Structure 1
Amino acid sequence: MNKISKVILLCLVALTMTACHKSEREIKAGRYGMMSDETPQYAALVFIMAIYEDDNLDNALKLSTDKFAGLLKSYHTNSGVQRHILNLRLTKMTVEPVSGGFEGMTEFKKEATVDVKIIGTYNNRKITELKTISMIKQSGDWKIVDVSNTVP
């Protein structure tokens, strides 16, 4: 193999590797462990994961409406948002959509509410919470408007 063909092969391999890389979070939920990134359930799960797993609020702010993003910014840090908006501090966390209440044909809706179950630990104590996430569709993307307790 000559030098030019090695360079071409290397470029093709590099291009293939970058094209296959997903920048979105992979969510293991929904039918067959897959969930479309165009559903409100996906946006809700990614929002909660951004609050608990990221180092800053940037991804959570991208998934929020301008008004809700302003509220999130007022708490400055992820732990501030966990404490004041979600009222739920956790050290380890998993999140999943609550089965049932799934509304089909969400691509035609402008508003949605998604119930999520957050399971985690804090001070070596297992905590399970249900949260309701209200969303609207803006420019083809689901944006978070509010987070509330499912069971008051």
Structure 2
Amino acid sequence: MKSVLRVVFICIIAISISACSKPAKEIKAGRYGMMSDETPQYAALVFIMAIYEEKTLDEAVKISTDKFARLLRSYHTNSGVQRHVLNLRLSEMTVEPVSGGFQGITDFKKEATVDVKISGSYNNKRIIELKTVYMVRESGDWKISGVEDTI
């Protein structure tokens, strides 16, 4: 009887913990509004969203290479990274990958570049920018290694 109560107790705790955990970011992009979280496009979108929507740089640093993470941390705040690394300050924004140019299967690639369109507003002015996000694959995950303006 005690072992049955223990199992029930453990199940209740496991359900309550999983119900209280924060859901993963939902990204509406790609075909039919779905995008695999194993693609470089997904990593690029999560990175840009973390810079503009999170309160700290922790999420952006997690998906960056060590060298790029040190650069991000040197600016201390999200607004510092927006101003100096991305050269784009926005009060509200949306981001989407730029379609075009089939890149093929990314399962076996070690490096990737993704062009993203960032649109938003700052001081009541509408702004649309294109950025190129450079990535490398480390331990099976895509890590951001740099960002620059798309020409």
- State the shift of 1:102 in Å: 3.5
Secondary structure at the aligned position of 1:108 is classed as: coil
2:128 matched to which residue of 1? 128
Secondary structure at the aligned position of 1:143 is classed as: strand
- State the shift of 1:16 in Å: 9.0
CA distance in structure 1 between the partners assigned to 2:89 and 2:66 by the alignment = 24
CA distance in structure 2 between the partners assigned to 1:49 and 1:102 by the alignment = 24
1:56 matched to which residue of 2? 56
TM-score computed with the length of structure 1 as normaliser: 0.87
CA distance in structure 1 between the partners assigned to 2:103 and 2:22 by the alignment = 27
1:65 matched to which residue of 2? 65
- State the shift of 1:22 in Å: 6.7
Secondary structure at the aligned position of 2:127 is classed as: strand
CA distance in structure 2 between the partners assigned to 1:100 and 1:76 by the alignment = 35
1:89 matched to which residue of 2? 89
- In structure 1, the gaps of 5 or more residues are none
CA distance in structure 1 between the partners assigned to 2:22 and 2:45 by the alignment = 17
- State the shift of 1:39 in Å: 0.2
Q: How does 1:1-152 map to 2 (within 5 A)?
A: 15=15, 18=18, 23-151=23-151
Q: CA RMSD in A?
A: 2.4
Q: Which digits, 9 at most, give the CA deviation of each residue in 1:34-61, with x for residues without a partner?
A: 0000000000000000000000000000
Shift in CA distance, 17/70, structure 1 to aligned 2, threshold 3 Å: closer
Secondary structure at the aligned position of 1:112 is classed as: strand
CA distance in structure 2 between the partners assigned to 1:39 and 1:22 by the alignment = 22
Shift in CA distance, 71/103, structure 1 to aligned 2, threshold 3 Å: same
CA distance in structure 2 between the partners assigned to 1:94 and 1:85 by the alignment = 18
Runs of 4+ more than 6 Å apart: none
CA distance in structure 2 between the partners assigned to 1:91 and 1:62 by the alignment = 23
CA distance in structure 2 between the partners assigned to 1:76 and 1:22 by the alignment = 25
